Amino acid sequence: MTVYGRVWQPRKKTQIFPTWAAKLAMSITGLVMLAFVFVHMLGNLKIFASHEDYNSYSKWLREAFTPLLPYEGLLWIARVVLGACLLIHVLCALLVWKRSRANTANARPRGLSGYFAKMMLPTGIVLLVFVFVHILDLTVGALVQPASFQHPDEQFYAAANMIASLDRPVMAVFYLIVLLALAIHLAHGFELAINDLGITSSSWRKWMRAIGILLAILILVGDAAVVLSANLGAV
């Protein structure tokens, strides 16, 4: 359209929530969840010490900082924070994905980096499904829980519940698939998060890529060892 001899172009619609802010939110929430996953893996390794140590760890999580906090206070703080992080992470990921699809001018990365980039959405979906299955399996004890599942009363049954769950071949295979998806998601996601936080120099990116891969491998090997050992009756 020409107005007074000039070509008139409509203004671009201002984004209420810009893409850079969505990526920043994804970075922060992703790193918070990564920290939780790593600490959770370390806690799971207590099963190799003894069932009593693992149950004591479960008991401590519920009684930590009492009477300053109520019973299970620390757990509920973690649940609320992680739930909020998960919701923000998923919503921002969908927003960024939708805008990246609409912008056909974006050059898509190739090679190994391109493969990991393409796998972020499918692995993210797998992890989201796992969160709900895991909660039903070993926290709520509903729908997919093992037949022998017991809620904690004066005794704690965390070790017995976990072993009973992973003793089922289908559940063990499911957990291993999830751990592989998690490793792929973390290896690439950590580098993206650090980059979106402003650390963009090539030397630093190489280090961050290496650290991300190392963390992914440690979590994969640690949790997979627990799954396989529980399924094979080695713990």
Q: Where are the domains of the chain?
A: 18-232
Which CATH architecture group holds 18-232? Up-down Bundle (1.20)
- Quickly count: other Cβ atoms within 10 Å of residue 218's Cβ: 15
Whether omega for the bond prior to residue 109 falls within 30 degrees of 0, making it cis, is no
Which residues have a Cβ under 8 Å from the Cβ of 24 and sit 6 or more positions away? 196, 197
User: Where do we find the tokens 């919701």?
Assistant: 87
Average pLDDT score over residue span 178-201: 93
Provide the angle, in degrees to the nearest 10, between the axes of the packed helices 111-135 and 169-196: 130
Q: Which range is least confidently modeled, 42-51, 91-100, 113-122?
A: 113-122
- pLDDT interval class at 43 (50, 70, 90): very high
pTM > 0.85: yes or no: yes
pLDDT in tens, 129-179: 999 999 999 999 999 999 999 988 768 899 999 999 999 999 999 999 999
CA end-to-end distance (rounded Å), the chain: 74
Structure letter (DSSP) for residue 157: -
Alpha helix segments (H runs only) across the chain: 19-44, 51-63, 73-102, 111-135, 158-166, 169-196, 202-232
